Amino acid sequence: MEQRSSTRGSQQGRPRKTVDNPYLGTEYSVQKNPGYRLRRTKREWKPLEDRSCTDLPWFLLFTVFCVGMGSICGFTIATGGAGRLVFGYDSYGNTCGQRNEQIEGVRLSGLDQTDKKYVFFLDPCNIDIVQRKIKSMALCVSLCPDEELKTYQDLKRFAMHNGSELCSYELAGHKYPDLPERFDKCPKLPVPPSKSLPVFNRCTPVDISCYAKFAEAVVMFVSDNSVLHRLIGGVMASKEIIVGLCLLALVLSMILMVIIRYISAVLVWILTAMVVLGSLAGTSILWWMYIDNRLTANKTLSKETAETTETKDAKEEAGMTRDKAQVLLVYAIAATVFTVILLLLMLFMRKRVALTIALFHVAGKVFIHLPLLTLQPFCTFLALLLFWMYWGLVLLFLGTTGNPVQNEETGLTEFRLTGPLQYMTWYHAVGLIWISEFILACQQMTVAGAVVTYYYTRDKTRLPVTPILSSVLRLMRYHLGTVAKGSFIITLVKIPRLFLMYVHNQLKGKENACARCMLKTCICCLWCLEKCLNYLNQNAYAATAINSTSFCTSARDAFVILVENALRVAAINAVGDFVLFLGKILIVTSTAFAGVLLLNYQRDYAEWVLPLIIVCLFAFLVAHCFLSIFEIVVDVLFLCFAIDTKYNDGTPGKEFYMDKALMEFVENSRKLERVVERGRSRPTEAVSVEGPEMKPMAPGTSSA
């Protein structure tokens, strides 16, 4: 005992050093023995205190998967698939513009096509709409015809003068008009003038009128080509206006994210009033209709009783009136029950609605302090666009990779993947989903990290210079594995849903009603599961940004917090989502109104309908992208607020981190609780219910 006391005394007598955390505004006691040892009050949530790598095995797995994606691209390049796509190949397997090797069993293969760099289709307008490709023999030629060739004499003259033979290789150019094979192995007359594409060396007709059938198949509502031409002409004539309106939608979206904190209260209470008044009005109308039908039925019945004779039609009419009154009674009772439940929900959730308003107010402040958040949709869209372009290019490479196979229907040589290699396409398809979800999850983690830094920094003047960049660096250094794991879980749910949707489309009109219902039910359930997992993942990323824990631990902790605040979550998701939806509608309608004013000078309304539709779709897409960032900010703020109120109570040492607007909400809630407690206590009982005043810790105070 003496030895322990002396040891404790010697430890207490040693000098201590105070270390201040700029994010938390707390001080830690560190002893020199022999190095610094951090003494911290043990807590379940340690915002921004420790950083460590999370879910490292999943990061390694994702890295291996990405290497596999890159290997597919390398395989297509090494086996000539990329070269065949870029340079083109003929119907005998020869790549244009280079020397080729003989393909066993394929005649006219292995030709030297060094001087023939362009692919020419004998019938470029013969398009297979189902397979989306040209069903025509392809040849390598040295020059694309730049003028219309109407006869075989014109084909001969073009071959003699330019050295570019447009018929099959075994036919001599000077014999074109006399050969009996000319009808099958020469181009279909007349040959339209064509030009080569800039990168892909294909001879493309200058006049695209031959693609009218393809255009009609794609645009099913167009029955007259003149309508399509007028619509396209309207788009081309209004391209400057379309660009200007798209920029207007972009500016409106950015402005709305800043000012929504000022109009959120108005929108929320207007929404609440509309819902309540609408339900009351609907219920009243149903009861009025029931009473009116009941009175009408009674009058009819009294008249029938007074009369001595009663016709069959009168009996049927009276029966229908009574049945109608019974149906209206059921509807009125159901509407009354719904209205009562709705009013009770509004009564019990009014404080949660006030929390939603406070969170919107704080979210607006976040965008003022972190203006680079508005660039997140651009960065995410650019990353997705670059990846989708790469993915589509590799998919095209895979379409020209593999072993040469002769098509039994057309007799043309095609390249197809056979054996185990055909699974590369499925691997590539999974990569599209997983990596796309990974990019979206990186955006969620970046926004969550920046918002967490803002929330848990007591003195906002001590925020990092670029919290967004700091969040990106933390993500890349510590949490890529967590993002990979979360996106993989979404991929596991999305793949079966997409597969069932594909099966449903393939069996449309063939399956029975029961099978169709089961497929739609499964698709709907998987969609709901995907949405729930997306929401849980987003909160798990926020928990990881706070505590630097693994994905499963963060998801569990976030789920516990959300369950404890289930009513608040319901209110925020219901009211908040509807307010954001109203914001999207506001942006779309404002852009559409401006578009109508600008396009009004075009008196032919058919010409500006399509530009206006394009502008409205773009405006909704932009508004959705920007307000989705706002929604993520609100959700992260709520999780931080829930954690703050759970582990802090405003007393010294447990000061709140929250903003003034949220502090006012908590104070009002506690005042209401104290009023309720006073009402429950007896009048003669003097009970002190005044608690300590709640205030955030000032910078530099101690929380130990």
Per-residue pLDDT of 465-509, as tens digits, reads: 788 898 999 999 999 999 999 999 999 999 999 998 888 887 776
What's the CA gap between 205 and 190, in Å, rounded? 12
Indicate whether 152 and 232 sit together in one domain. no
- E strand or H helix that includes residue 484: helix 480-506
Same domain? 199 vs 255: no
658: containing domain: 228-301+317-672
Token pair recorded at residue 474: 């933390």
Backbone angle region of 425, left / alpha / beta, with phi > 0 → left and psi within -120 to 50 → alpha:
alpha
Residue 74 lies in a domain: no
CA dihedral 578, 580, 584, 590 (to 10 degrees): 100
> Which structure tokens are listed for 425?
């396409």
Q: Are 48 and 456 in contact, with CB atoms under 8 Å apart?
A: yes
Asked if residue 559 lies in contact with residue 590, where contact means CB atoms within 8 angstroms, the answer is no
- In three-state secondary structure terms, 199 is coil
Helix or strand holding residue 138 (H, E)? strand 138-141
Q: Do 248 and 356 lie in a common domain?
A: yes
Residue-wise pLDDT tens digits, 203-260: 888 775 555 554 444 444 334 445 555 556 666 667 778 888 888 888 888 888 777 7
Asked whether residue 24 is domain-assigned, the answer is no
Is residue 696 a contact partner of residue 690, using CB atoms and an 8 Å limit? no
Q: For the chain, what is the total number of helices (H) and then of strands (E)?
A: 20, 11
Q: How far is CA 549 from CA 552, 556, 646, in A?
A: 8, 11, 19
Helix (H/G/I), strand (E/B), else coil: 133: strand
Query: b vs e for 173-197, b when ≥16 Cβ sit within 10 Å of the residue's Cβ?
Result: beebeebeebeebbbeeebbebebe
- Is 35's pLDDT higher than 50? no
563, 624: one domain = yes
Do residues 396 and 286 both lie within one domain? yes
DSSP characters for 310-330?
A: --HHHHHHHHHHHHHHHHHHH
Could you tell me if residue 598 is inside a domain?
A: yes
The CA R_g of the chain, rounded to the nearest whole Å, is: 36
Q: Letter for the amino acid at 472?
A: V
pTM attached to this predicted model: 0.75
d(CA 227, CA 389): 32
User: Tokens at residue 52, please?
Assistant: 């460590």
pLDDT at site 666: 75
pLDDT band at residue 693 under the 50/70/90 scheme: very low
Give CA angle at 155 (151, 160), nearest 5°.
140
| 52 part of a folded domain | no
Same domain, 471 and 357: yes
User: Among residues of the chain, what percentage have pLDDT more than 90?
Assistant: 18
Residues 149 and 244 in one domain: no
Same domain? 202 vs 292: no
What are the pLDDT digits (tens) for 61-117? 999 999 999 999 999 988 888 888 888 888 888 889 888 888 887 888 888 888 888
- 3-state secondary structure labels for all residues of 162-188: HCCCCCCCCCCHHHHHHCCCHHHHCCC
Region of 668 on the Ramachandran plot (φ > 0 left; ψ -120 to 50 alpha; else beta): alpha
Is residue 77 situated within a structural domain? no
102 and 193 in one domain?
yes
Whether residues 531 and 667 fall in one domain: yes
Instruction: Count how many domains the chain has.
Output: 2
- Evaluate whether residue 263 is within a structural domain: yes
Question: The tokens of 197 are what?
Answer: 């594409």
Q: Do the Cβ atoms of 636 and 451 come closer than 8 Å?
A: yes
Domain shared by 239 and 185, yes or no: no
Cis peptide before 496 (omega within 30 of 0): no
The answer to whether residue 215 sits within a structural domain is no
- Residue 253 and residue 206 share a domain: no
Give the Cβ contact number of residue 532 at 10 Å: 11
Is residue 239 a part of any domain in this protein?
yes
